[in-house]
């Protein structure tokens, strides 16, 4: 078994003291007034010897593990997969490691992940909270554990969050359908009370109201996250077989759009000739669809970077006030909306 390289080994190879090596490898050479040249030599030797720091000892000494717990709602969703990658890359630039898990929109699983990560002594959390997980967020607040919410948040709980301006994005998406001549627009959304879905519904409703297109019977159809396939088919058939039928559908997420397109194809409706479609978020699978989809492009990179920046500020200074950041998105117009 290969012997683990120690600070003493590096010090001997560089011809300096162990303390000097420690200062350099902990990025404290300026405080110790170590010259740039000798610091460069020490780092080069450490790299050559494949030195691996003892993170446990380091965390015990500093009181920090330099790890972040990331909990997303559904890692199979491209939005969360991409945001996880952005957060991981941004954290690495700041010398933090990310440990992440997926709650699958299940509050019990979310709490299990939070408990495990607290026991792993993460320095803070970035969380896309599930429905009915308010107590979990309140617990983090009560324990003074730094955290930032992404994508969703709870208006009644004081917390830092970074999210898309869901209302405005939804409003502009539906307004685009109206401007392209569609006057009977349905919406498919999840059946929950999370703020991002509520805001997307509000934007949809307001765009119709501002253009005198609200129908007496609501054209918002709701889908259970655990029963997507069946609910989608039932709801789309209701929208298309209405008298009169809808001539456009706005999908509140890319997952809903993907399932919805399968049903629309099955019913032999052509997009955009028979039905216009716009969805929230893009998806890799959409690139293979015969009619390129118009979609709301969320600022994933900006959300991820801002969440990491705010969290590290909180870890460094736990007395800092919570920050709420809303970032604008853009509508990418393609063939599916009949433009």
In a domain, 26, yes or no: yes
The verdict on 246 and 184 lying in the same domain is yes
| Domains contained in the chain, number | 3
| DSSP letters spanning 183-229 | --EEEEEESS--HHHHHHHHHHHHHHHHTT---SS--EEEE-GGGHH
The verdict on 260 and 220 lying in the same domain is yes
The verdict on 196 and 180 lying in the same domain is yes
The verdict on 35 and 81 lying in the same domain is no
Domain holding 159, by residue range, is 65-164+300-328
In a domain, 136, yes or no: yes
The verdict on 74 and 147 lying in the same domain is yes
Distance of alpha carbon 161 from alpha carbon 194, whole angstroms: 14
Please write the tens of the pLDDT for every residue from 126-143: 999 999 999 999 999 999
Chain position carrying tokens 């933090």: 96
In a domain, 1, yes or no: no
In a domain, 2, yes or no: no
Indicate the pTM of the whole model: 0.80
The verdict on 112 and 152 lying in the same domain is yes
Angle between helices 36-48 and 7-14 (to 10 degrees): 120
In a domain, 81, yes or no: yes
In a domain, 59, yes or no: no
The verdict on 94 and 240 lying in the same domain is no
The verdict on 265 and 305 lying in the same domain is no
Please write the tens of the pLDDT for every residue from 51-99: 877 654 555 455 577 999 999 999 888 899 999 999 999 999 999 999 9
The verdict on 153 and 232 lying in the same domain is no
The verdict on 159 and 71 lying in the same domain is yes
For residue 230, the Cα-to-chain-centroid distance in whole angstroms is: 27
pLDDT of residue 287: 76
Percentage of the chain with pLDDT > 70?
95
Look up the CATH number of the domain holding residue 95.
3.40.50.2300
pLDDT of residue 37: 83
- Give the model's confidence band at 32: pLDDT under 50 very low, under 70 low, under 90 confident, else very high: low
The verdict on 175 and 160 lying in the same domain is no
pLDDT of residue 54: 64
The verdict on 255 and 215 lying in the same domain is yes
Which range in 45-54, 198-207, 313-322 is most confidently predicted, on average pLDDT? 198-207
């Amino acid at each position: 078994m290969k012997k683990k390289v120690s600070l003493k080994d590096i010090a001997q190879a560089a011809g300096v003291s162990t303390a000097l090596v420690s200062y350099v490898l902990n990025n404290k050479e300026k405080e110790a007034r170590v010259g740039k040249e000798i610091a460069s030599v020490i780092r080069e030797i450490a790299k050559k010897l494949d030195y691996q720091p003892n993170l446990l000892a380091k965390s015990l000494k500093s009181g920090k593990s330099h790890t972040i717990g990331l909990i997303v709602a559904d890692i199979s969703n491209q939005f969360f997969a991409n945001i996880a990658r952005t957060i991981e890359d941004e954290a690495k630039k700041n010398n933090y490691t990310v440990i992440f898990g997926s709650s699958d929109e299940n509050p019990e699983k979310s709490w299990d992940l939070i408990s495990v990560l607290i026991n792993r002594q993460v320095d803070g959390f970035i969380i896309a909270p599930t429905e009915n997980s308010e107590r979990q967020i309140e617990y983090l607040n009560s324990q003074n554990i730094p955290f930032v919410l992404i994508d969703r948040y709870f208006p009644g709980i004081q917390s830092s969050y970074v999210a898309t301006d869901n209302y405005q994005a939804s409003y502009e998406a539906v307004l685009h359908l109206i401007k392209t001549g569609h006057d009977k627009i349905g919406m498919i959304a999840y059946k929950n009370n999370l703020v991002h879905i509520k805001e997307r519904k509000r934007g949809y409703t307001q765009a119709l109201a501002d253009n005198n297109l609200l129908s007496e019977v609501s054209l918002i159809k709701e889908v259970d996250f655990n029963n997507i396939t069946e609910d989608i088919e039932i709801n789309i058939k209701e929208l298309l077989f209405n008298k009169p039928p809808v001539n456009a559908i706005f999908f509140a997420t890319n997952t809903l759009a993907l399932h919805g397109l399968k049903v629309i194809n099955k019913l032999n409706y052509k997009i955009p000739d028979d039905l216009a479609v716009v969805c929230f978020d893009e998806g890799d699978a959409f690139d293979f669809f015969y009619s390129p989809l118009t979609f709301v492009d969320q600022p994933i990179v900006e959300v991820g970077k801002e969440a990491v920046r705010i969290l590290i500020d909180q870890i460094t200074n736990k007395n800092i006030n919570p920050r709420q950041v809303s970032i604008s998105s853009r509508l990418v117009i393609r063939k599916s909306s009949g433009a």
